[in-house]
């Protein structure tokens, strides 16, 4: 950000223009920001100085009006000029401080990004010198980098997904060979399996992140069940898109839907039990004395089961997808995958529309 | 291969609902099924495996065991459930590993006196439709 070293401002009382000479303090500090090794104490000192300056300036501004009547015109000019200069200096200072803080925030974000990249590279086995790892950022750093890695991975996944959907669409409209279509279907399935692997990984870092579905749009989250789609609901949505089915297929799909529902019920009941267990553990003993470390520690142990639930739910999704691919012909499976892709797009569009639709003022 | 269903488990199954063995005094929500308590000695665990068409071994209060039990119950099976206390966990795991010849993790299901698997296997076979025939063959399900 550029800061001019001199500025011309109108003096309010006399209508004359005066050059204001700025002390280049903020300017000097700007130069040091591009170097990420900022000493935190320097920043604090500078910030303090600024606070003091603007305080004294505003204090001075309260004083002058009593002098106004008593002085002759010449000293009066001087005083007015000085007051104007002070006001201006204060204003400039405030603006510069704002810009400086903004630069600081940007640098901080950049620093976090760099550290995450570092963590990722290290995880991939490139040695980058372990100075910045666990010791510096602590456990939250590992969690954040796990989440950051997942979010980046998901963005790539979505891009690849959109590509595959387009390929499926044109393949189904053209008349490509069974084998080529089979390859597309297999890629589509593998692509979903890849997502489940990614989710499993980030669940170890932060299972609540997966449970919240933060990486998804709002409408997708609305339908979420243990970190993703409910398989039986998806079947209900997709099967009509795959018509016509043979009688045997209809029977098989019906059985699959029922099996999904039974499995989902069992998992849901397990989740309910987990909630009861964690709640009971957390609430055990007397409440009100302000001491609760053992209860919280025990509850945390119980909560670890949540990772299992997320994995089991994804396992169920994977098995359902797999089973559908056995029941359906290649062409039907391709239509199913295409429909699933489009359903997700529609959900995302719904989220977008919702975010932007005009609302009544509060 | 198919041996006659042992009298005891047959009686308990047809009796329906919960039946309790005399050495299991406490009530616990294990997701249903009969409740058994294992003793320390190895033969007791082996006996449980052999005498029950379906038996689920799990840690006491474990939510994943609960899932297995609910799923089996939902299918119309009345599984025997063995809730293992923390102190006996290692011993029981060891014994089960010896019986089945492999590494075991809780929760674990034995069907027809043989190792069936954990929650993963129960889920997979349920989705593919293989689970019900296996249960029927072991005499855990009628119809």
CB spacing of B123 vs A263 below 8 angstroms: yes
Chain A residue numbers with beta carbons less than 8 Å from the beta carbon of B66 are 269-270, 273
Cβ atoms of B64 and A305 within 8 Å: the answer is yes
CB pair distance less than 8 Å for A269 and B70 = yes
A contact test, residue of B70, B73, B129, B131 with most A CBs within 10 A: B70
Q: Among A261, A269, A271, A275, which would you mutate to test the B interface (most chain B Cβ atoms within 10 Å of its Cβ)? A: A269
Q: Do B67 and A262 touch (CB under 8 A)?
A: no
Lowest mean pLDDT among A61-75, A87-101, B64-78, B83-97: A61-75
- Please provide the DSSP assignment of A259-302 as one string: HHHHHHHHHHHHHHHHHHHHHHHHT-S--SSS--HHHHHHHHHH
Q: A312 to chain B: which residues are within 8 Å by CB?
A: 64, 67, 119-120, 123
Facing residue for B123 by CB, picked from A256, A271, A316: A316
pLDDT at A70: 53
Distance CA A261, CA A271 (A): 15
| Ordered per-residue pLDDT tens for chain A, 362 residues | 444 444 444 444 444 444 444 444 544 554 544 444 444 444 445 445 545 554 444 444 444 445 555 555 678 889 999 999 999 999 999 888 888 888 888 888 888 878 887 777 766 655 444 444 444 556 777 788 899 999 999 999 999 999 999 999 999 999 889 999 999 999 999 999 999 999 999 999 999 999 999 999 999 999 999 999 999 999 999 999 998 999 999 999 999 999 999 999 999 999 999 999 999 999 988 888 888 888 898 998 899 999 999 999 999 999 999 999 999 999 999 999 999 999 999 999 999 999 998 888 76
For residue A322, give the chain B residue with the closest CA.
B128
A-contacting residues of B 72-111, CB under 8 Å? 74-75
List pLDDT tens digits, range B6-47.
544 444 444 333 333 333 334 344 455 555 655 555 558 888
- What residues of chain B lie within 8 A of the CB of A316, using their CB? 123, 127
Quick one: pLDDT band at residue B130, thresholds 50, 70, 90? very high
Residue with tokens 């939250």: A140
Q: CB B127 to CB A266 under 8 A?
A: no
B132 CB near a chain A CB, below 8 Å?
A: no
Nearest CB to B63; choose among A277, A315, A320: A277
Q: Between residues B122 and B37, which one has the greater pLDDT? A: B122
Query: Which residue is closest to A273 within chain B, CA to CA?
Result: B63
Q: Which of B10, B103, B85, B104 is nearest to B52 (CA)?
A: B10
How far apart are alpha carbons A5 and A25 in whole angstroms? 11
Residue A11: per-residue pLDDT:
47
Of B64, B124, B127, the CB nearest to A305: B64
- Cβ-Cβ contacts under 8 Å for A74 (sequence gap 6 or more): none
The pLDDT value recorded for residue A123 is 67
Q: Write down the pTM of the prediction.
A: 0.67
Residue A315's closest chain B neighbor by CA?
A: B120
Interface check for A307 against chain B (CB to CB < 8 A): the answer is no
At residue A17, the 3 state secondary structure works out as strand
Q: Tell me, what's the pLDDT at B25?
A: 39
How does strand B34-36 pair with strand A17-21? unpaired
Instruction: Evaluate the CA torsion angle A174, A179, A181, A183 in order and state its sign.
Output: negative
CB-based contact (8 Å) between A316 and chain B? yes
pLDDT of amino acid B40: 53
- Contact at CB, A305 and B120, closer than 8 angstroms: no
Cβ partners under 8 Å of residue A310, min gap 6: A199, A200, A203, A207, A210, A211, A226, A227
pLDDT for the residue B35:
57
CB contact under 8 A, B66 and A270: yes
Cβ separation B74–A262 shorter than 8 A: yes
Query: In chain A, what residues touch B64 (CB-CB under 8 Å)?
Result: 270, 305, 308, 312
Smallest CA–CA distance, residue A271 to chain B, in Å, is 7
CA separation for the pair A159, A157 (Å, rounded) = 5
Band (pLDDT 50/70/90 cuts) for residue B3 is low
Helix (H) or strand (E) holding B114: strand B114-117
> With an 8 Å Cβ cutoff, is A270 touching chain B?
yes
From B60, which residue of chain A is nearest by alpha-carbon distance? A277
Is the minimum CB–CB distance between B34 and chain A shorter than 8 Å?
Answer: no
At B102 the pLDDT is 82
* Angle, CA A291 vertex, CA A290 and CA A295 arms, to 5°: 125
Please, are residues B32 and B87 in contact by the beta-carbon 8 Å criterion? no
Question: Are A184 and A170 spatial neighbours (Cβ–Cβ below 8 Å)?
Answer: no
Selecting from B29, B64, B129 the residue whose C-beta is nearest the C-beta of A255 gives: B129
Nearest chain A residue (CA) to B107: A308
Calculate the average pLDDT of chain B.
79
- A259:B29 CB<8 A: no
> How far apart are the CA of A261 and the nearest CA of chain B, in angstroms?
10
């Amino acid at each position: 950000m550029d800061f001019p070293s001199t500025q011309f401002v109108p003096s309010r009382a006399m209508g004359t223009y005066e050059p204001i000479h700025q002390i280049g303090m903020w300017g000097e500090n700007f130069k040091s920001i591009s170097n990420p090794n900022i000493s935190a104490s320097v920043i604090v000192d500078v910030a303090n100085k600024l606070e003091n300056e603007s305080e004294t300036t505003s204090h001075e501004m309260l004083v002058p009006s009593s002098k106004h009547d008593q002085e002759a015109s010449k000293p009066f000019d001087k005083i007015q000029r000085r007051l104007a200069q002070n006001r201006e200096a204060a204003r400039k200072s405030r603006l510069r401080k704002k810009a400086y803080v903004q630069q600081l925030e940007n640098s901080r974000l950049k620093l976090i990004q760099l550290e995450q990249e570092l963590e990722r590279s290290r995880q991939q086995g490139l040695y980058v010198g372990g100075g910045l790892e666990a010791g510096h950022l602590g456990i939250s750093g590992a969690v954040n980098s796990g989440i950051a890695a997942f979010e980046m991975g998901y963005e790539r996944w979505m891009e690849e997904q959109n590509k595959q959907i387009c390929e499926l669409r044109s393949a189904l409209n053209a008349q490509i060979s069974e084998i080529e279509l089979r390859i597309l279907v297999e890629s589509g399935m593998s692509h979903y399996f890849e997502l489940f692997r990614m989710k499993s990984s980030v669940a170890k870092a932060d299972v609540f992140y997966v449970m919240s579905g933060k990486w998804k749009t709002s409408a997708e989250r609305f339908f979420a069940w243990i970190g993703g789609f409910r398989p039986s609901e998806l079947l209900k949505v997709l099967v009509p898109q795959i018509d016509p089915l043979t009688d045997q297929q209809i029977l098989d799909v019906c059985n699959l839907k029922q099996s999904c529902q039974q499995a989902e019920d069992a998992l849901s009941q397990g989740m309910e039990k987990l909630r009861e267990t964690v709640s009971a553990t957390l609430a055990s003993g007397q409440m009100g004395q302000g001491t609760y470390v053992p209860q919280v520690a025990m509850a945390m142990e119980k909560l670890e089961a949540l990772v299992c639930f997320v994995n089991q739910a994804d396992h169920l999704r994977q098995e359902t997808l797999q089973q559908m691919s056995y029941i359906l012909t290649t062409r039907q499976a391709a239509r199913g995958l295409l429909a699933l892709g489009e359903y997700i797009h529609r959900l995302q569009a719904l989220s977008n529309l919702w975010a932007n639709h005009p609302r009544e003022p509060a | 291969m198919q041996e006659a269903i042992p009298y005891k488990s047959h009686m308990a199954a047809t009796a329906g609902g919960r039946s309790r063995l005399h050495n299991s005094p406490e009530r616990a929500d294990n997701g249903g099924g009969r409740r058994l308590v294992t003793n320390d000695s190895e033969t007791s665990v082996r006996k449980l495996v052999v005498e029950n068409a379906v038996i689920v071994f799990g840690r006491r209060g474990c939510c994943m065991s609960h899932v297995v039990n609910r799923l089996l119950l939902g299918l119309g099976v009345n599984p025997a459930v063995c809730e293992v206390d923390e102190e006996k966990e290692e011993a029981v795991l060891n014994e089960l590993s010896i019986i089945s010849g492999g590494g075991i993790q809780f929760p674990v299901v034995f069907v027809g006196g043989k190792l069936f698997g954990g929650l993963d296997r129960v889920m997979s076979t349920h989705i593919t439709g293989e689970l019900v025939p296996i249960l029927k063959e072991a005499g855990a399900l009628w119809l």
